[in-house]
Amino acid sequence: MRSSRELLAVGIFSNGSLGDRIETLLRRGREFSTHVSATRVAMSGLALLGFVAVGALAPRWIAFAQPAPRPEFEVASIRLRTEVSNRFGFGPLPGGRLSVTNNALRNVIDNAYDIQAFQLSGGPDWINTDRYDIEAKAAGNPSWPEMKPMLRSLLEDRFKLKVHRETKELPIYVLGVAKGGLKLHLLTNENCIPPDRGNPTPPPANYCGNNLSRGNGWTANNIGMSEAAGLLTAVLRRQVIDKTGITGTFDVHLEWAPENLERPTDNAANDGTLPSIFTALQEELGLKLDSSKGPVEVLVIDHIERPDAN
């Protein structure tokens, strides 16, 4: 019996027509059918459908991979103030407008990145001394939280601002229940008036969620301890961590002496008619603030430049 290799040689080089040679190669008991396996047809169909599906989704995948456009103001004007003024302003206005008047750039950065002043680290001295007026206009009527990313884009474009976040070990206050016990009266939502966001009339003073500090006073309605800690963080310029374990809500009406809050034992500015904020919290609310150290997230300025003239 000839080997397969010999048979292949005979088939290729033997005399005769091409059809004879092919027949010689395929002669050895091989059988072929004109019927295709149903399984193979099904598998081929599934593969084809898979290719079609991939092709249909490819444009979506490509679009998904592309970075979303940065939120930006349509127009913006930045002017360095050269005259001295006691008039200050910062806030969104109807119609997608943002108006900043006579603000240090440090305050603009704090608002744009939603941080407290003590959380900003680095940067040249002029971010504290130079005063700017900023007028910006966005498309539509975005809310203030929706404007913050636009303001960050503006700072990146016009001031070449580059930042990063990191965590540092810093002095903090721990908010707890004082030795004499909690003096707050816990409430329900029935004790305040829900605000009507669609009503242009100014809300009543006791609407739910009111939490304001003006000067050396604090007024709040139906807030929780997390909101209280947040306001105290802003007032004391140091992170306040809630460790009270209180889950209810309450009202606050508190006044304290306008003393140096960074040195609570210094009562030089206190005429004796009002207690310090630390004493007021303990006597009126049954809360205490203990000094400690803990992790605090900070925003570090890596680079910033004065803007070009408009």
Of 225, 224, 216, 204, nearest in space to 253 by CA:
216
**How far lies 225's CA from each of 140, 219, 221, 247, 285, in Å?**
36, 14, 12, 7, 12
Q: Which pLDDT belongs to residue 1?
A: 47
Q: Are residues 206 and 189 in contact, defined by beta-carbon separation less than 8 angstroms?
A: no
Of 190, 176, 160, nearest in space to 242 by CA:
176
What is the reported pTM? Answer: 0.68
Q: Which pLDDT belongs to residue 70?
A: 87
Q: How far is CA 183 from the centre of its chain?
A: 35
Q: Which pLDDT belongs to residue 215?
A: 82
Q: Which pLDDT belongs to residue 273?
A: 82
Q: Which pLDDT belongs to residue 32?
A: 46
Q: Are residues 282 and 178 in contact, defined by beta-carbon separation less than 8 angstroms?
A: yes
Report how far residue 12's alpha carbon sits from residue 23's, in angstroms, rounded to the nearest whole number: 11
Report how far residue 226's alpha carbon sits from residue 220's, in angstroms, rounded to the nearest whole number: 13
Give the pairing type, strands 287-303 and 162-177: antiparallel
- For the chain, 310 residues long, give each residue's pLDDT as a single digit of tens: 454 444 444 444 445 555 555 455 445 554 545 555 566 656 766 666 665 555 555 555 555 556 778 899 999 999 999 888 888 899 999 999 999 999 999 999 999 999 999 999 999 999 999 999 999 999 999 999 999 999 999 999 999 999 999 999 999 999 999 998 999 888 766 666 776 655 656 556 666 778 888 888 999 888 899 999 999 999 999 999 999 999 888 989 999 998 645 444 444 445 568 999 999 999 999 999 999 999 999 999 999 999 986 6
* Angle formed at CA 78 by CA 158 and CA 126, multiple of 5 degrees: 75
Q: Which pLDDT belongs to residue 206?
A: 65
User: Which segments within the chain are labelled E, that is strand?
Assistant: 75-80, 89-93, 97-104, 120-121, 131-137, 162-177, 211-214, 217-223, 240-242, 250-255, 287-303
